[in-house]
Amino acid sequence: MCGIVGYIGKDDAITVLLDSLKRLEYRGYDSAGIAYRNGKGIEIFKIKGKIDELQQILPTPLPSVNVGIGHTRWATHGAPSTENSHPHCAGGIAVVHNGIIENFRSLKMQLLAEGCEFSSDTDTEVIPHMISRGLTQGKSLKDAITETLSGLRGTFAVGIMSETHPSTLFAVRKGSPLVIGIGTEEFFFASDIPALLPYSQEFVFLEDDQMCTLTATGVELECLKTRQPSLFYERIMKVDWTPAMAEKEGYDHFMLKEIYEQPRTVADTCVEWIKDPQRLLDESGLTMDITVGLRRLQIVACGSSYHAALIGRYLIERLARVFVDVDLASEYRYRHPIIEKGTLIISITQSGETADTLAAQREAKHRGAATLTICNVVGSTSSREADSVLYTRAGPEIGVASTKAFTAQITALTLFALALGIRRGKVTLKEATNFKSLLMEIPGMIQEALKKDAEIRDLAKGLSQAKDYLYLGRGINYPISLEGALKLKEIAYIHAEGYAAGEMKHGPIALVDEGLPVVVLAPKDELFEKMSSNIEEVNARGGRVICITDEPGSLSRNVDNVIQIPRVHYLLSPFISVIPLQLLAYHVAVLRGCNVDQPRNLAKSVTVE
């Protein structure tokens, strides 16, 4: 994903821009650039390479300027090159852009026919040319900007500065996240909150088709299409994240830091409502008539959040005795879902910006369903569009591979299921008290599971060259087998499949041959004996069994490797069984020299369908 930043105010713009861009590096990029305005007009410095290399080409000493824009580029249209880097400039207009302009080719053809000269292969470069054309037609700068951006199809977040308006910046959102940071006599914009954490904890999250005009003394917000003014200061949201939360703090990778943060983030998500889980329902905005009259839940999500949703189904059906359907968000609307009275749709999304999940949430809302989102980012699109919100307290998750957000989602789902069960009279207060005390032990149990890190790192040494993996689980640990496989796929680039162990005889067992690593989740629960049979089946065909269990003594000798985890209540076992799988994927990826935090082809938030 590209990243855009902008600054206007009393401080040194270049220093702020470079620092903010560095805080967006986790998004992955191949080139970077900044534009600022000094006495002579707009100066642009950009390079194919990292931000450190960009700094090398800047003037020394750095000029003292108070307004500028910056960009990290993750190439979509046009190969990585200095020419294709942003900012792009034409006619005294400089632009940075995150997203895709679907109709740029026809626009570019028109501009070329009018004699415009292009210096890049990007879609972005049509924007400054179109704005400049509007200016030569006598339009005001704002009119030229709104006319240009209204004529673009696709998704974008755009930052614009102009030579003729040295004390103004423009920020426009249509489909790609864009946040405005509020300082003292200074304002910022950025693609994501971590870029601005050292400068502000007060933000306004732009909505689609909103244009923000920023000066050092104030901000105006308006609709791009209608030009209707919108409230700005009344929409400020306070985010209690600190800059340190978005830094590695001594870990080799964000992912490892976030794996180790899980005892605290699970506790943080718990502590808010553990005393009175029903307060979670009220505070999330779910009215009593929705929760008491609830007949069916439909949960929509993608990726790891989808795996959390599958775990949520076990929890909610067991504790609250409500029907739960779980859909991949990208498939949901194509099955023309039936939404009867008493249906609640839950979207689960760490970023709150996943296009497929937003589309499913909007579809459900359009069909008349009440919507709840379980989300980790305050002010994100999902949290603003849903009827009710349940925030997880995982803090910023920087690593592309979701870990702490995943266990925070399970925490929220556990509390939600318990609260619903109590409200619907399916869980007695005594049972609730007992379950809550078990849940409060989970952070400590995760801490215990993390102590196996070194053992798992050693195990990974003999597994990093395997070409295929199978992950097997049953019951509430079946989704964990899917999650473990996804972790390995996305950061170690190894083909891995998660399967319901009971499915082995229906096909997958044909895959088992000499040395195939098969990770088996076998906590000593009601399904342990059946998992033991799966172990024998794999072993008999030469597969290499890596068993995650809380009862190694009960295992046969036919297990090649055992990772022991603490024993917990069946419904809480996913919190623990996922830890060794996160660590295994991490260590295998490191051994394979993969870019753990920014794996190839992936983005932290998939804001396009």
What residues are labeled active site? 2, 604
E strand intervals along 163-251: 165-174, 179-182, 186-190, 202-205, 210-215, 218-223, 229-230, 237-238
Q: What is the DSSP string of 423-463?
A: HTTSS-HHHHHHHHHHHHTHHHHHHHHHTTHHHHHHHHHTT
- CB of residue 246 to ligand AGP, shortest distance in Å: 16
- CB of residue 486 to ligand AGP, shortest distance in Å: 6
Do 98 and 353 touch, CB atoms closer than 8 A? no
- CB of residue 487 to ligand AGP, shortest distance in Å: 7
- The rounded distance, in Å, linking the Cα atoms of 396 and 252 is 17
Measured from the CB atom, is 148 or 350 closer to ligand AGP? 350
- The rounded distance, in Å, linking the Cα atoms of 527 and 502 is 10
- The rounded distance, in Å, linking the Cα atoms of 426 and 432 is 10
Measured from the CB atom, is 392 or 532 closer to ligand AGP? 392
Stretch of residues binding ligand AGP (CB under 6 A), selected from 6-14, 299-307, 331-339, 555-563: 299-307
- CB of residue 349 to ligand AGP, shortest distance in Å: 3
- CB of residue 491 to ligand AGP, shortest distance in Å: 8
Measured from the CB atom, is 373 or 534 closer to ligand AGP? 373
Measured from the CB atom, is 68 or 303 closer to ligand AGP? 303
Does 504 bind ligand AGP (CB under 6 A)? Our answer is no
Does 302 bind ligand AGP (CB under 6 A)? Our answer is yes
Does 481 bind ligand AGP (CB under 6 A)? Our answer is no
- Torsion angle defined by CA atoms of residues 25, 266, 355 and 334, in that order, rounded to the nearest 10 degrees: 150
> Residues 357, 383, 388, 577: which binds ligand AGP (CB under 6 A)?
357
Which secondary-structure segment (H or E) carries 586?
Answer: helix 573-591
Q: Give the tokens for residue 414.
A: 């556990």
Does 304 bind ligand AGP (CB under 6 A)? Our answer is yes
Q: Give the tokens for residue 397.
A: 């998750």
Kindly tell me the burial class for residue 212, based on how many C-beta atoms sit within 10 Å of its own C-beta (0-12, 13-18, 19 or more): buried
Measured from the CB atom, is 356 or 550 closer to ligand AGP? 356
Do 545 and 520 touch, CB atoms closer than 8 A? yes
Helix extents (H) in 151-286: 254-260, 262-271, 277-284
- CB of residue 129 to ligand AGP, shortest distance in Å: 34
Task: Give the pairing of strands 154-162 and 468-473.
Answer: unpaired
- The rounded distance, in Å, linking the Cα atoms of 143 and 224 is 10
Measured from the CB atom, is 93 or 401 closer to ligand AGP? 401
Does 303 bind ligand AGP (CB under 6 A)? Our answer is yes
Stretch of residues binding ligand AGP (CB under 6 A), selected from 58-66, 166-174, 230-238, 343-351: 343-351
- CB of residue 52 to ligand AGP, shortest distance in Å: 27
- The rounded distance, in Å, linking the Cα atoms of 554 and 508 is 25
Stretch of residues binding ligand AGP (CB under 6 A), selected from 78-86, 349-357, 422-430, 461-469: 349-357
> Residues 213, 284, 291, 305: which binds ligand AGP (CB under 6 A)?
305
- CB of residue 304 to ligand AGP, shortest distance in Å: 4
- Strands of the sheet containing 218-223, edge to edge, are 88-90, 93-101, 154-162, 165-174, 210-215, 218-223, 229-230
- 451 CB-side CA count, 13 A: 8
- The rounded distance, in Å, linking the Cα atoms of 357 and 581 is 25
Do 558 and 459 touch, CB atoms closer than 8 A? no
Q: Give the tokens for residue 262.
A: 């899980």
Measured from the CB atom, is 8 or 302 closer to ligand AGP? 302
> Residues 387, 490, 537, 550: which binds ligand AGP (CB under 6 A)?
490
> Residues 349, 371, 534, 582: which binds ligand AGP (CB under 6 A)?
349
Q: Give how far the C-alpha of residue 541 lies from the chain's centroid of Cα atoms, to the nearest Å.
A: 40
- The rounded distance, in Å, linking the Cα atoms of 486 and 471 is 10
- CB of residue 585 to ligand AGP, shortest distance in Å: 10
Measured from the CB atom, is 354 or 573 closer to ligand AGP? 354
Task: Give the pairing of strands 468-473 and 517-521.
Answer: parallel
- The rounded distance, in Å, linking the Cα atoms of 575 and 580 is 10
Number of residues located near ligand AGP, criterion CB under 6 A:
15
> Residues 98, 162, 291, 351: which binds ligand AGP (CB under 6 A)?
351
- CB of residue 374 to ligand AGP, shortest distance in Å: 9
Stretch of residues binding ligand AGP (CB under 6 A), selected from 198-206, 310-318, 346-354, 551-559: 346-354
Measured from the CB atom, is 212 or 578 closer to ligand AGP? 578
Of residues 548 through 607, those in contact with ligand AGP by CB under 6 A are: 605-606
> Residues 20, 155, 350, 573: which binds ligand AGP (CB under 6 A)?
350
Do 73 and 31 touch, CB atoms closer than 8 A? yes
Kindly report the number of other CB atoms within 10 A of residue 89's CB atom: 22
- The rounded distance, in Å, linking the Cα atoms of 455 and 468 is 21
Of residues 458 through 477, those in contact with ligand AGP by CB under 6 A are: none
Residue with CB nearest ligand AGP?
A: 303
- The rounded distance, in Å, linking the Cα atoms of 188 and 33 is 17
Measured from the CB atom, is 43 or 490 closer to ligand AGP? 490
Stretch of residues binding ligand AGP (CB under 6 A), selected from 202-210, 296-304, 314-322, 549-557: 296-304
Does 311 bind ligand AGP (CB under 6 A)? Our answer is no
Of residues 367 through 426, those in contact with ligand AGP by CB under 6 A are: 400-402
Do 232 and 276 touch, CB atoms closer than 8 A? no
- CB of residue 360 to ligand AGP, shortest distance in Å: 11
Stretch of residues binding ligand AGP (CB under 6 A), selected from 39-47, 149-157, 188-196, 344-352: 344-352
Measured from the CB atom, is 148 or 388 closer to ligand AGP? 388
Tokens 């996240």 -> residue = 177
> Residues 66, 210, 284, 354: which binds ligand AGP (CB under 6 A)?
354
Query: Across the strands, what pairs with 328?
Result: 301
The residues of the shown chain that bind ligand AGP, judged by CB under 6 A, are 302-305, 349-351, 354, 357, 400-402, 490, 605-606
